Structure 1
Amino acid sequence: MANIQVLIVEDEPLIAEDICEHLSNVDYSVLAIAYNKSQALKVLEQQIPDMILLDINLGGNLDGIEIAHLINQKYQVPFIFLTSYAHKSILDQAKVTWPMGYIVKPFSEKDLFSSIEIALYNFSQNARPHNLNLERINQVLLSPLTEKEFQALQDIYQGLTNKQMAEKQFVTVNTIKTHLKNLYDKLEVGSRSEAMAKLRNLIT
């Protein structure tokens, strides 16, 4: 579960499965597919993803915008809007929810991946505490982080995937997963987004 976990909120099953297939080609994990607002909220109550791909128009309503407001209020997770609509009135409603991106259907696999990577980077930079250093973190943790675990944490704040971390550090993806598991255990969290939220509360 150390991969970047994505929640797909899309009411058209074929599009949702297409997105799922694209994500499975790289080191992203699909946490769940929700086809409507109630399913999306149920998933969020059970587990917090690292990224949400959120269709604005669910079942003929702009439920995606309502979900976006709730994400900002309660979960603080980056999300990208997916939509077939590019009307100014809808854009005006969508932009005030501060999405990390906006993809108009139909979109390519390249568009999807580049949007996710940029979104993860921008969100993690905004969430990064000003005084993020190993000594400061270890002052507030019962089990101190190692240098390798701190490096993994820094890479999370760069929005890197497990594969990108492994290439940067010249280690295997399994080694990265081990570092992330140890990091999550010490922070008592289950995902990247929860790790960032926990640190923000601990050292700010």
Structure 2
Amino acid sequence: MTGVRILVVEDEPLIADDIANQLRINDFEISAIAYDYEDAVYELKFNAPDAVVLDINLGAGKTGVDIAEVINEKYGLPFIFLTSYADKETLERAKRTEPLGYVVKPFDERNLIATLEIALYNFSQKQKNTQPALNLDKINARILSPLTEREFAVLQQIYEGKSNQQMADSLFVSINTIKTQINSIYLKMEANSRSSLLAKLRGFS
């Protein structure tokens, strides 16, 4: 799997499927769909995504805000909120979790994708401010099979939080070419997702 892996948390199955389908059309991958707090916490622990789309209202019980607090405390992943309505107290709690975006229901595909792409970019920029710039020679000194210059260019774009489509547009190649290069990067760096790849890069610094 080479795309950005998204955990969708939404208690309405039809809406959850619609979100997942729209993300897939735009070359994101769905790590899982969770319908409540317990499902989401399980997926975060055992099937780590690269980012999370969170409905605030999840019916009875704990909310998407509770999940956001778990993400901040344990996983440090980017997330955005989906909401149609929430009371003032819930919205104030939501703000304190520092989401990287809000999407208001009913939403359209362009708004969802744009919000998610901006969230990924802003998250990566925030991470980069605390990490040194990538260096091809230093990375290749730590892995058995060296990255090519082209693979390093793709790696830098991943580091900047770009989606597969954004990388293809930026590097003037097809999405299939990007996927092939990402697979090669994963193999050489012994990673299986963007989050594990970025964690390895942080370990190299």
- 1:139–1:96: structure 2 CA closer, same or farther, 3 Å change rule? farther
Match of 2:171?
169
- 1:36–1:137: structure 2 CA closer, same or farther, 3 Å change rule? same
Match of 1:134?
136
Match of 1:23?
23
Aligned to 1:81, the other structure's residue is in SS state strand
Aligned to 2:192, the other structure's residue is in SS state coil
Task: Please give the alpha-carbon distance, in whole angstroms, between the structure 1 residues aligned to 2:46 and 2:184.
Answer: 22
Residues 30-85 of structure 1: CA deviation (Å, up to 9, x unaligned):
22111011111222222221221011221233431221122122222111011222
* Percentage of identical aligned residues: 52
Deviation at 1:186, TM superposition (A): 2.4
The gaps in structure 1 that reach 5 residues or longer are none
Match of 1:65?
65
Task: Please give the alpha-carbon distance, in whole angstroms, between the structure 1 residues aligned to 2:85 and 2:144.
Answer: 49
Aligned residues: 203
Deviation at 1:155, TM superposition (A): 0.9
Code of the residue aligned with 1:191 in structure 2: it is: S
Q: Which moved more, 1:93-102 or 1:132-141?
A: 132-141
Aligned to 2:53, the other structure's residue is in SS state strand
1:1-204 equivalences in 2 (<5 Å): 1-128=1-128, 129-203=131-205
Task: Please give the alpha-carbon distance, in whole angstroms, between the structure 1 residues aligned to 2:137 and 2:99.
Answer: 33
Code of the residue aligned with 1:20 in structure 2: it is: A
Task: Please give the alpha-carbon distance, in whole angstroms, between the structure 1 residues aligned to 2:76 and 2:199.
Answer: 8
- 1:19–1:38: structure 2 CA closer, same or farther, 3 Å change rule? same
Deviation at 1:86, TM superposition (A): 4.5
Task: Please give the alpha-carbon distance, in whole angstroms, between the structure 2 residues aligned to 1:16 and 1:98.
Answer: 23
Task: Please give the alpha-carbon distance, in whole angstroms, between the structure 2 residues aligned to 1:159 and 1:131.
Answer: 14
Instruction: Give the root-mean-square deviation of aligned CA atoms.
Output: 1.8
Residues 71-126 of structure 1: CA deviation (Å, up to 9, x unaligned):
12222211101122254322221122221112222222121011011001001111
Code of the residue aligned with 2:48 in structure 1: it is: I
Task: Please give the alpha-carbon distance, in whole angstroms, between the structure 2 residues aligned to 1:54 and 1:118.
Answer: 16
Maintained 8 Å contact 1:86/1:104: no
Code of the residue aligned with 1:114 in structure 2: it is: A
Deviation at 1:170, TM superposition (A): 2.5
Maintained 8 Å contact 1:6/1:31: yes
